[in-house]
Amino acid sequence: MRLLLIFLLLVAAVGHLLLPFGPLREAQAVDPELADLILIQLRLPRTLLALGYGATLGISGAALQAMFANPLASPDISGASSGAALGAVIGGYWLGLTQPLLLAACGAAGALGILTLLIALAGRRADTTTLLLAGLALALAAGAATSLALALAPSPFAFYDAYDWLMGNFADRSLAQAAAALVPASVASILLLRRAHALDLTALGEDVAASLGIKPRRLGLEVIALSAIAVGACVSVAGAIGFVGLVAPVFGRSISRGHPGSAMVPAALIGAILLAAADLVVRSVPLDRPIPVGVVTALFGTPLFVWLVVTMRRRVTA
Amino acid sequence: MTSLVARQIGIPGRLQPADLDVQAGELVALVGPNGGGKTSLLRVLARIENASGVVAIDGEDLDLAPLSRRRRLLSFLPASRDVIWPIAPRDVIALGLDGPNPARVDELIGLLELGSLADRPVNRLSTGERARVLLARALVGNPKILLLDEPLSNLDPYWVLRILSILEIAAHSGQSVLVALHDLGQLPRFGRALLIADGQVQMDEAPASLMASERFEQVFRIQATQGGWEVRRQADPQSSP
């Protein structure tokens, strides 16, 4: 199963990089250097962002679900993505920051702020209802604050400008921007992966984990901080993308035989494949205006989400 | 040989500082009314919360023992039987081990007769079945100390007796076993009993003398009748002498 995922990942990566093939071939015919330019300067950052952001969402989603002991926790439903968007909007349109890495820091700070509020509101092992309601409230509040920050921003084009970015967009990002998102995200993701076994043990309950020498409180704070950094950095460059962080861990756990921490690796692979595929859909749809990739993940993700809620309800009532 | 040494262990407001020594091979029952402090004592011994005092197992300070070492020193079974994730019992049991050891896991699956359930999601099993799976996880690493919070609840009579004999065998092989329980009928099978109420260890004796004591009846607010127990009548000054 893992081999199949790695194969699919390669297909997604190569496909994302080379498709549509037409322009590349034409450029190659005119000037081989032009083709290289398209490949390296235009397509490579986009491919790296799509794969890296997807993997980040898979890992941080799985880590948050393990920590909250809840399959509905995720970067989007916890409000972390909305918080990151708010942070990046304030950094970009109010503080006038342009350095991608500084914007990534703003995104991480926003995500961290929302996740801290969520813990304060709902607690670390909140039941599903509390978690969903608290996360929803925070996501809505952060969304409203983002709209307000854009409406009142010094630049009159802020709203129009941000639309392209907020809903998720990988187009026209530079390699420097991709690096600003993916370097912090990779470091945080690797640190999260090192906590896989500890998160697996929390499946037996916090008391058992603690009796084995794990500090659940500290582990929880680490997961929060690392997820915030990973997701915040990606959101600041490519916008808030929903559902991948929710759905990838669910499939990840079916590969890790239910283990919540070990689900991070397969969830990363699945997240990367899903987001690369979603962005390929964006690129292939023949519209005058490109649609945000977040719209595509939401369109495909909503039915999966509904299915998840229904199966959970069935399990509870059974 | 003293296996477990605890000094001045306590939780402010819930468990008064106490000392406790347990020998290797001892089977100790923790009894007492609800909320008296049985679970708190087990949690302090397992160093689950930042509690005061020192707990040493075979001379090794638990707070200083690294993660991999802890599993060999103790295991803790909580009273809750909840497992949220759909992990197979086989894998749940393996979480109690340092590394893969399928033979040992199979041994526990056989011991607790989990063969037909071993590959079903643990969160779909009945409470009693889950109780056996979680106990198997606690037993699989063969730790020196077993701290078990109500391992006999949710079980049918066959399994109450089976698990008691499994615990007796564990003690016989040198493990120290501390068990919180409510079923006083099983108390005589233990070698030693602690009566815990109001956040402190009230008595520490052989079960027979514990049960025969006035203090025992007072704390539990029950009294012995022929072949059983009944609710203790309030001392009534009006009644005849």
Question: What are the pLDDT digits (tens) for A234-273?
Answer: 998 888 888 899 889 988 988 888 899 999 999 999 999 9
pLDDT of the residue at A313 = 64
Contact flag A69-B84 (C-beta cutoff 8 Å): yes
**B89 to chain A, minimum CA–CA distance in Å?**
11
* Cβ-defined contact of A258 to B47 (cutoff 8 Å): no
Secondary structure of residue B238 in the 3-state scheme = coil
Q: Is the per-residue pLDDT at B173 higher than 90?
A: yes
Say yes or no: A208 contacts chain B, CB-CB below 8 A. yes
Asked if B85 lies within 8 A of A260 by C-beta distance, the reply is: yes
Full-model pTM: 0.86
Q: Please enumerate in sequence order all residues whose Cβ is within 8 A of that of B193, keeping only pairs 6 or more positions apart, or say none.
A: B28, B29, B30, B31, B187, B203, B204, B205, B206, B207, B210
Tell me if A213 and B43 make a contact (CB, 8 A cut-off). Answer: no
As a whole-number percent, the residues of chain B with pLDDT over 70 amount to 96
CB contact, 8 Å: A207 with chain B?
Answer: yes
Q: What is the per-residue pLDDT for A75? A: 87
- Residues B160-169: what's their mean pLDDT? 94
Instruction: Give the other-Cβ count within 10 Å of B98's Cβ.
Output: 11
Report the pLDDT value the prediction gives residue A317, as an integer from 0 to 100: 45
> Fold for domain A2-317?
ABC transporter involved in vitamin B12 uptake, BtuC (1.10.3470)
CA angle A197, A200, A206 (to 5 degrees): 115
Distance from CA of B72 to the nearest CA of A (A): 10
Partners of residue A260 in chain B, C-beta under 8 Å: 85
Residue B235 is predicted with a pLDDT of: 59
Residue A318 pLDDT more than 60?
Answer: no
**Which residue of B67, B82, B91 is in closest CB contact with A205?**
B82
Token duo for residue A280: 């390929």
Q: Is A70 an interface residue toward B (CB < 8 Å)?
A: yes
Q: Where are the domains of chain A?
A: 2-317
Confidence of residue B145 (pLDDT cuts 50, 70, 90): very high
- Provide the pLDDT confidence category of residue B137 given band limits of 50, 70 and 90: very high
Q: What is the mean pLDDT of residues B146-159?
A: 92
Residues of B in CB contact (< 8 Å) with A are 43, 46-49, 65-67, 70-71, 74-78, 80, 82-88, 91-92, 95, 121, 123-124, 134, 137, 147
Please judge whether A211 and B137 are an interchain contact, meaning their C-beta atoms are less than 8 angstroms apart. Answer: no
Q: What is the pLDDT of residues A187-223, one digit of tens each?
A: 999 999 999 999 999 999 889 998 988 888 889 889 9
Q: Give the 3-state secondary structure of chain A.
A: CHHHHHHHHHHHHHHHHHCCHHHHHHHHHHCHHHHHHHHHHHHHHHHHHHHHHHHHHHHHHHHHHHHHCCCCCCCCCCCHHHHHHHHHHHHHHHCCCCCHHHHHHHHHHHHHHHHHHHHHHHCCCCCHHHHHHHHHHHHHHHHHHHHHHHHCCCCCCHHHHHHHHHCCCCCCCCHHHHHHHHHHHHHHHHHHHCCHHHHHHHHHCHHHHHHCCCCHHHHHHHHHHHHHHHHHHHHHHHCCCCCHHHHHHHHHHHHCCCCCCCCHHHHHHHHHHHHHHHHHHHHHCCCCCCCCHHHHHHHHHHHHHHHHHHHHHHHHHC
Q: Would you call A289 an interface residue with chain B, using a CB distance cutoff of 8 Å?
A: no
- Give the pLDDT band of residue A123 (cuts 50, 70, 90): confident
Residue B238 has pLDDT above 70, yes or no: no
The answer to whether residue A18 neighbours chain B at the CB level (below 8 Å) is: no
Q: State whether residue A217 sits within 8 Å of chain B by CB.
A: no
Nearest beta carbon to residue B67 from set A203, A213, A259: A213
Q: Does A257 touch chain B (CB under 8 A)?
A: yes
B70 and A211 within 8 Å at the Cβ level: the answer is: yes
For chain B, the average pLDDT equals: 88
The mean pLDDT value of chain A amounts to 84
Contact list, B43 vs chain A (CB under 8 Å): 207
* Whether pLDDT at B231 is above 80: yes
For the residues A68-85, what does the mean pLDDT come to? Answer: 85
* pLDDT for the residue B94: 93
Domains of chain B, each with CATH number or no CATH: 2-83+142-231 (3.40.50.300)
Closest CB to B88: pick one of A211, A257, A315.
A257
Q: Is A122 on the interface with B (CB under 8 A)?
A: no
A260 in contact with B at a CB cutoff of 8 Å?
yes
Spell out which residues of chain A touch residue B147, defining contact as CB-CB under 8 Å. 211
Please give the average per-residue pLDDT across A42-66, as a whole number.
91
| pLDDT given for residue A66 in this prediction | 92
Q: With an 8 Å Cβ cutoff, are A210 and B121 in contact?
A: no
Q: Mark yes or no for CB contact B46/A210 under 8 Å.
A: yes
> Which residues in chain A have Cβ-Cβ distances shorter than 8 Å to B47?
210-211
Taking an 8 Å cut-off on Cβ atoms, the answer to whether B47 and A210 are in contact is yes
Least confident of A161-165, A300-304, B82-86, B167-171: A161-165
Give residues with Cβ within 8 angstroms of A139, minimum separation 6.
Answer: A76, A77, A78, A79, A81, A82, A114
Please compute the mean of the pLDDT values over residues A175-179 and round it to a whole number. Answer: 86
- Judged by CB atoms closer than 8 Å, whether chains meet at B46 and A207 is answered as yes
For residue B92, is pLDDT > 90? yes
For residue A311, the distance in angstroms to the closest alpha carbon of chain B comes to 13
pLDDT at A7 over 80: no
- For β-strands B2-11 and B15-23, DSSP reports them as antiparallel
The confidence score (pLDDT) of residue B240 equals 46
pLDDT of the residue at A56 = 95
Report the residue of B47, B85, B105 to disrupt the A interface, i.e. the one with the largest count of A CBs within 10 Å. Answer: B85
- Flag whether pLDDT at A156 surpasses 70: yes
- Tell me the nearest-neighbour CA distance from B231 into chain A, angstroms: 34
Instruction: For chains A and B, count residue pairs whose Cβ atoms are closer than 8 Å.
Output: 66
Residue A199: list chain B partners with CB under 8 A.
none
Question: Which residue of A lies nearest to B69 if distances are taken between CA atoms?
Answer: A212
In this complex, is the C-beta atom of A65 within 8 Å of any C-beta atom belonging to chain B? Answer: no
Residue A129 forms contact with B (CB below 8 Å)? no
Q: What is the pLDDT of residue A105?
A: 87
